[in-house]
């Protein structure tokens, strides 16, 4: 029997990896991929707690997170396409159009 | 046996996550993200959540990741030399420290709590899809509808954003 803390540890490591990716990488698409990693870490946590605390609510919330990830990917990639069409660059630190 | 599978899925998913963040070429990053998603779905199987396993494979791997790969192929990115943010080294140290502290807290906490109404034996008897369906369409119906509206808004927003801007004044100038 695997303890619950093993699942939470895996999820924490994945979440930290995602945060590092968001902070460190310069390519906008890879920043979005790191957000997907973070959502997967949250999903592992929710499903593990749902299994060990014997309630289905965690799996439901994980399903909704997957749906929200789909919407976020669609809108984020549309934004990337718009930016790329204008500036031919997907680096995060070169996108400063809205900064003042 | 279950412990062996858990170790395999956990180690490979962490390794694939680290590769997703550190690899240079964006297509390689997307492919290691694929490995990560498949192994996370394996973790779902170990937790008796086979409906979520199917949703993970179909929606994440089949739809979201293919969308990412399409955009990557469409834009034909060239990999630049300095692909990390300039202040990456300043972030790395505190992040590793914080991760270690969080892991220490997680591994020594007992995680007790009030049990819900769906034990693992009931899930195994009826199937996870049945349990998820009953719960979704009784207790979480409002959230389900909200997610539907959200997806409609996301589709419309993506279409509006990514549509090619119409050249406005060419017709008028010609006339």
Tens digits of residue pLDDT in B47-70? 989 999 999 999 999 999 999 998
CB contact under 8 A, B40 and A20: no
Angle at B8 between CA A37 and CA B96, to 5 degrees: 50
Length of chain A: 100
For chain B, the average pLDDT equals: 85
Q: What's the mean pLDDT in A50-59?
A: 88
Question: With a cut of 0.85, is the ipTM above it?
Answer: yes
Q: Is a pLDDT exceeding 80 seen at residue B46?
A: yes
Segment B114-157, tens digit of pLDDT: 777 777 777 778 888 888 898 899 989 999 999 999 999 999 99
Phi, psi of A56 (to 5 degrees): -85, -5
Q: Which residues contact residue B89 at a Cβ distance below 8 angstroms, ignoring those fewer than 6 apart?
A: none
**What's the pTM value of the predicted model, to 2 decimals?**
0.86
Select from A74, A90, A95 the residue whose CB has the most chain B CBs within 10 Å, as the one to mutate to test that interface.
A74
pLDDT attached to residue B85: 67
pLDDT attached to residue B77: 67
Select from A11, A15, A40, A41 the residue whose CB has the most chain B CBs within 10 Å, as the one to mutate to test that interface.
A40
Contact A59, B55 (CB under 8 A): no
CB contact under 8 A, A25 and B151: no
Cα atoms in the 13 Å half-sphere on the side-chain side of A95: 16
CB contact under 8 A, B103 and A75: no
Q: Which residues contact residue A28 at a Cβ distance below 8 angstroms, ignoring those fewer than 6 apart?
A: A80, A83, A90, A91, A92, A95
Which chain A residue shows the shortest CA-CA distance from B140? Answer: A60
Segment B60-99, tens digit of pLDDT: 999 999 999 988 888 766 665 566 666 777 777 887 888 7
Cα atoms in the 13 Å half-sphere on the side-chain side of B35: 18
Contact A30, B29 (CB under 8 A): yes
């Amino acid at each position: 029997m695997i303890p619950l803390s093993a699942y939470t540890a895996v999820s924490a490591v994945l979440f930290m990896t995602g945060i590092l990716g968001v902070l460190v990488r310069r390519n906008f698409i890879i920043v979005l991929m790191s957000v997907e990693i973070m959502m997967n870490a949250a999903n592992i946590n929710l499903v593990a707690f749902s299994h060990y605390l014997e309630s289905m609510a965690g799996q439901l919330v994980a399903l909704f997170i997957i749906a929200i990830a789909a919407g976020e990917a669609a809108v984020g990639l549309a934004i990337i396409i718009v930016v790329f069409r204008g500036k031919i660059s997907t680096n995060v630190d070169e996108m400063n159009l809205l900064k003042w | 046996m279950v412990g062996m599978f858990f170790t395999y899925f956990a180690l490979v998913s962490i390794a694939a996550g680290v590769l997703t963040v550190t690899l240079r070429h964006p297509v390689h990053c997307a492919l290691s993200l694929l490995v990560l998603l498949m192994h996370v779905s394996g973790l779902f199987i170990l937790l008796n959540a086979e409906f979520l396993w199917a949703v993970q494979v179909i929606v994440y791997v089949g739809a979201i990741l293919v969308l990412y790969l399409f955009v990557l192929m469409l834009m034909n990115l060239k990999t630049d030399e300095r692909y990390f943010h300039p202040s990456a080294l300043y972030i790395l140290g505190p992040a590793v420290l914080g991760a270690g502290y969080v892991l220490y807290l997680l591994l020594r906490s007992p995680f007790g709590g009030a049990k819900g109404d769906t034990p693992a034996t009931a899930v195994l008897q009826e199937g996870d899809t049945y349990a998820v369906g009953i719960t979704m369409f009784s207790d979480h119906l409002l959230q389900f509808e909200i997610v539907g509206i959200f997806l409609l808004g996301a589709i419309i927003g993506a279409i509006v954003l990514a549509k090619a801007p119409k050249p406005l004044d060419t017709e008028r100038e010609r006339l």
